[in-house]
Structure 1
Amino acid sequence: MSTRPENTFANTTFAALAETDEQLSKLKGGEYSKAVSAERFNTAKAGLEAKGFKVTVAENKDDAFEKLKGLIPAGASVNLAHSTTLEEIGFVNYLMGETPYDNVRGTILAEPDREKQAELRRTIGTTVDYFLTSVGAVTENGEMAHGDLTGTKVGGVAFGAKNVVVVVGSNKIVKDEAEAYKRITEWCFPFAGAYAREVLKVPGTSLVNYQVLRQANPFSPDRIKVLLINEALGA
């Protein structure tokens, strides 16, 4: 039986913010909030594997939580980029408690000075043993795309971390790279703007960095692992 913690960030899911944020409300119930068919799910899994990514399939949030724990060895240093998916499966709350890992995220958040905290994100935050994140889109051909404002997310994924685990729901599966960019710009970043208004109390955010992972690194083929969840999760 899963010991998945309850998600205490339910007020900042896509569905919750679409109810309260005027700019996001027009996307409420849109196609990118829904899980794809079993056929498209299996096509994307095969595409990721053909591109050299190691894929683990989870059927739901409970299964994803347990399998993610199983992908990270005890004693490993761990950090994560902000991810609604990781919040929804309970892993962010899990990291707030006692774990067998070196919780670098906790060390960063414990620094009260914002400039010093930013420096920790740049240094120890992106060079951990395991960097956990999600992406905005996974194509049926096996590419993954995502973006951010500051580089702390794309930097850890591109090169900094020793291992990366991408945790992604099936609602993020799209046809191709063109649709991946559409999903990120027309769906993910409106959500990010609503999140910024709700949590950070700023007007919005920007897509400064945009990254496409077209295949696994041939010199480190097992570095990026994908936990593909057969359920709609995240933004």
Structure 2
Amino acid sequence: MSLLQNTNLSETAAELIKNDNQVTGLSSSHYTKPASAARVNAAKAALEANGFKVYVVNSRLDAFEALKNLIPAGASINNAHSTTLEEIGFITYIKGQTPWKNVHGEIIAEKDPAKQAELRRTIGSTVDYYLTSVASVTEDGHLAHGDLSGSKVGGVAFGAANVIVIAGSNKIVKDEQEAWKRQHEFALPLESARVRIAYGLPASGVTHYEVIRKASPFNANRIQVILVNEALGY
């Protein structure tokens, strides 16, 4: 099949950098470029040594197919906001007819902010499969990411039965110290640029930050990682 359309092209890193003068300085960042094959292989080996199931694919279309094939029919799914998921066409896909129960639509249909937050905490975080990206994948096999509300880190850390992480190779960093730097000096400014478009707010923030160093000793297969040999998301 062909790649499904990304309906949020204005929120990709390239467009945000081009159109928002607060982030134009990020245009030359090496975090906008895919990593070498050697770094991808190092990250894959380290993730596997830490107990994660890892798949390496060559393109965003391959990532779409890999993700689709990992989720069994009938499963409930939810996703964090993810430019990566948008760029591989998966958000467009799950807005249509799928073999899964997508609770995201039920959550955003609730317009009362307090009730919507409760749905994010309950049905949103405890799905069979939680789909997301991360800000960084370290060469020593750790996953690092942050968010403002806590819904993303909560679902990934414990709430969901299974988690699938999709990350472009541009998110590979040396270690946790660089992961922190990438989160705050690259991902956060771009997320702030996105919320200026999406919500009319001046900036986002990282009030919750999480590093996952090893697979769960109680469910070693809970978190699966798809590494893509392309630059995706931020």
What range describes the TM-score normalised by the shorter chain of this pair? Answer: over 0.9
Name the % identity: 57
Secondary structure (helix, strand or coil) at the match of 1:28 reads helix
- What residue identity is the alignment partner of 1:129? D
Deviation of 1:127 (Å): 0.3
Aligned to 1:208: 207
- What residue identity is the alignment partner of 2:95? M
Aligned to 2:103: 104
Aligned to 1:88: 87
Aligned to 2:164: 165
- What residue identity is the alignment partner of 1:91? F
Deviation of 1:50 (Å): 0.4
Residues in 2 aligned to 1:113 and 1:79: alpha-carbon distance in whole angstroms: 19
Deviation of 1:190 (Å): 0.4
* 1:154 paired to 2:153: yes
Residues in 1 aligned to 2:76 and 2:53: alpha-carbon distance in whole angstroms: 20
Deviation of 1:112 (Å): 2.2
Aligned to 1:190: 189
- What residue identity is the alignment partner of 2:149? T
Residues in 2 aligned to 1:118 and 1:219: alpha-carbon distance in whole angstroms: 29
- TM-score (norm. length: structure 2): 0.98
Residues 52-71 of structure 1 correspond to what in structure 2 (within 5 A)? 52-71=51-70
Aligned to 1:24: 23
Aligned to 1:139: 138
Secondary structure (helix, strand or coil) at the match of 2:203 reads coil
Show structure 1 runs of 4+ deviating over 3 A. Answer: none
Residues in 2 aligned to 1:176 and 1:154: alpha-carbon distance in whole angstroms: 19
Q: RMSD of the alignment, in Å?
A: 0.8
Residues in 2 aligned to 1:192 and 1:12: alpha-carbon distance in whole angstroms: 9
Deviation of 1:4 (Å): 3.2
Residues in 2 aligned to 1:42 and 1:191: alpha-carbon distance in whole angstroms: 27
Secondary structure (helix, strand or coil) at the match of 1:165 reads strand
Paired residues of 1:4 and 1:91 also in contact (CA < 8 A): no
Deviation of 1:3 (Å): 4.3
Secondary structure (helix, strand or coil) at the match of 1:82 reads coil
Measured against aligned partners, the alpha-carbon deviations of 1:29-54 in whole angstroms (never above 9, x if no partner) come to 31100001111110000010000000
Measured against aligned partners, the alpha-carbon deviations of 1:189-211 in whole angstroms (never above 9, x if no partner) come to 00111111111101101110010
Deviation of 1:113 (Å): 1.9
Aligned to 1:51: 50
- What residue identity is the alignment partner of 2:22? Q
Secondary structure (helix, strand or coil) at the match of 2:218 reads coil
Residues in 1 aligned to 2:232 and 2:82: alpha-carbon distance in whole angstroms: 10
- What residue identity is the alignment partner of 2:79? L
Measured against aligned partners, the alpha-carbon deviations of 1:52-87 in whole angstroms (never above 9, x if no partner) come to 000112110111101100000010000000000000
Aligned to 1:218: 217
Residues in 2 aligned to 1:183 and 1:88: alpha-carbon distance in whole angstroms: 20
- TM-score (norm. length: structure 1): 0.98
